[in-house]
Amino acid sequence: MARKPAGPVRYVDLLLRKSQIVRGTATRDILSLKAQEVKGRAWAKANGYVVRQVWRENLSAYKKGVKRPEFEGAVQALLDGESDCLWVYDSSRYSRQGAGDVLKILDVPGKRLVFDLDRLDTEIPADRIRIIGKAEDAREYSRLLSEKVRDTKATQREEGKWLTMPPMGLKVTKKRKLKHGKLWPLIERIHAEAAEGKSNRKIALGLTADGYRSTRGGPFRSNTVGEILRNPVYLGWQIVSVNGHPQIYLNAKGKPVRVFAKGVEGIPQEVYDKHRRIAAGFERRKNLPTVEERHGPAERRPASGLLWCDGGGRDPKTEHTATMHGQSYRCSRANLGLDCPNPVNGTRTAIERVLAEQWQRKLTTADPLDPTLLAVAEGWVQLSQPEETAKEAEARGQLRLAEEAVARLDRLNAGGAYAGRDGEETFIKLRRAAVEDVESARKEWESMARPLADISVLTDPERCAELWETADNHYRGQLLRLAIERVYLLKAPHPGARFKADRLDIVWKTPRGGKSSAES
């Protein structure tokens, strides 16, 4: 706590506040704050006070959840005795949360609070009830104003008027409708490339390479691309934010409201739906590179991509892979000339031989209910019957979309989109229909869902060995990945040691992408 200098000097703090934020203008440079400060310093001089500190705010004093560190600091300084008086231009500049914010000062003897414009001073006993009344009046005024603004915005939203800054690629007409801006071709390109299967990162890199810049002038980022792709306003619909995520706004009748101006077309619905299905994993990208495209003409080794250097630890921030280097698998950081606490290496043929042996031993000796065998059965369906699996996956995707529709309605309802009796009836009707869609999609999926595949060819020792011997390296890699999540390559106990199974720490798969504990 700061101490006051000895002597008869009396200190006053000035609390200045302006509600509206002026973009691009420093808080201390806003005109009304300057005018308040001039008046406060004049009052201090006339009443024999020295201005100790000026507290400046540029925010609302009514909105719930708004933090006011300047206000809290000024009040606490008065209560702690660092200042003798707190001067405020008028009561509405002090607080609009009601009498509670003034009673904390009124109830402490010797603490002076002055509202200059209202001619109110806590040193005058008759002013106490007036100060409390003013605080409550300011609170009620802000409450009514907030309700009027909220009702006005709700009406404008129902009319399809855009109320804030327009999204990238769009601009606002005089009637508050949206139309294409000069960057609209960029928005179309982003949606089209996403529907073709490009990742957000590749789209962003392509835009930056072609000279496009984000709204702040920097390179395009993948998260910016993602925000554009997820925003349904580009379909032409009014949106509402639910937990920070844009959702299509539905009026009291449960219908979307068009926010685009007449004759202005948005992103085609089929394009939007396609890239959302791809992003959700319900649809595979059509242009995924083949093994040959990813790795060139050289044949991919079975263990490539599965091996990790144990010297990097098991922390996602520090772990790294073990990659091919000549005829060996070596720590990838060591291959690049970088540091690794305990770099590993092992002969390719020895590692692949021992890994195949451990894989076959696991499949042919495990209990039928072993989680790894269940994961193998799931993967074997996809590997041996890709067409049937694709149909089942599509049906499962439709089920997930239907379930998400129900969840979306619940989020909108929680966000107040279906207020009032009419809104409640609309919500009940829409949710009932959405639940029916879920049941229909579930029945469709169940009719296509296949039981776990017959993996006897993998659990029988002779047939498993024959399958491995007759497979090429690419297919062997797929077989290993049926059961193995990753493999940590451990350091040899001494130079020249024979490679054994204890050099491989295998993380076996469990159903639906889960991981079992590592097993050597």
Q: What is the DSSP string of 72-89?
A: HHHHHHHHTTS-SEEEES
For the chain, give me the number of helices (H) and strands (E)? 18, 16
67 shares a domain with 51: yes
Domain assignment present for residue 89? The answer is yes
378 shares a domain with 477: yes
Backbone angles phi, psi at 329, to 5 degrees: -100, 125
**Domain residue limits at 43:** 11-143
513 shares a domain with 367: yes
Measured between alpha carbons, how far is 281 from 393 in angstroms, rounded to an integer?
10
Structure tokens that stand for 452 in this block:
């776990």
496 shares a domain with 354: yes
Domain assignment present for residue 397? The answer is yes
- Which stretches in the chain have pLDDT values below 50? 1-6, 21-31, 61-62, 288-299, 387-388, 450-452, 513-520
Domain assignment present for residue 165? The answer is no
459 shares a domain with 314: yes
Measured between alpha carbons, how far is 458 from 233 in angstroms, rounded to an integer?
51
Domain assignment present for residue 159? The answer is no
348 shares a domain with 467: yes
Domain assignment present for residue 175? The answer is yes
181 shares a domain with 96: no
Domain assignment present for residue 50? The answer is yes
Candidates 88, 24, 98, 101; CA nearest to 57 is: 88
Measured between alpha carbons, how far is 266 from 273 in angstroms, rounded to an integer?
13
Check residue 284 and give its pLDDT: 57
513 shares a domain with 398: no
Domain assignment present for residue 158? The answer is no
474 shares a domain with 330: yes
378 shares a domain with 409: no
Q: Mind listing the pLDDT tens digit for each residue in 379-434?
A: 776 665 554 455 556 666 777 777 888 888 888 888 777 777 777 888 888 888 88
What is the bridge-based pairing of β-strands 120-121 and 112-115?
antiparallel
CATH number for the domain including 127? 3.40.50.1390
pTM exceeds 0.75? no
Amino acid at 304: S
Which strands, in side-by-side order, build the sheet including 504-509? 345-347, 328-331, 320-325, 307-309, 484-489, 504-509, 515-519
Contacts for 337-342: CB closer than 8 Å, 24+ residues apart: 340/309, 340/311, 340/312, 341/311, 341/312, 341/313, 342/310, 342/311, 342/491
Domain count for the chain: 4
CATH number for the domain including 182? 3.90.1750.20
Check residue 3 and give its pLDDT: 47
Q: Cite the DSSP H helix spans in 27-126.
A: 31-46, 69-79, 91-94, 100-106
Last residue of a domain, one of 234, 252, 280: 280
Last residue of a domain, one of 127, 143, 159: 143
Check residue 210 and give its pLDDT: 84
Check residue 358 and give its pLDDT: 94
Last residue of a domain, one of 219, 248, 280: 280
Candidates 89, 97, 81, 76; CA nearest to 43 is: 89
192 shares a domain with 80: no
Q: Which residue has the tokens 């580009």?
A: 234
Contact 358, 487 (CB under 8 A): no
406 shares a domain with 314: no
Check residue 356 and give its pLDDT: 93
Amino acid at 411: R
Check residue 488 and give its pLDDT: 93
Domain assignment present for residue 288? The answer is no
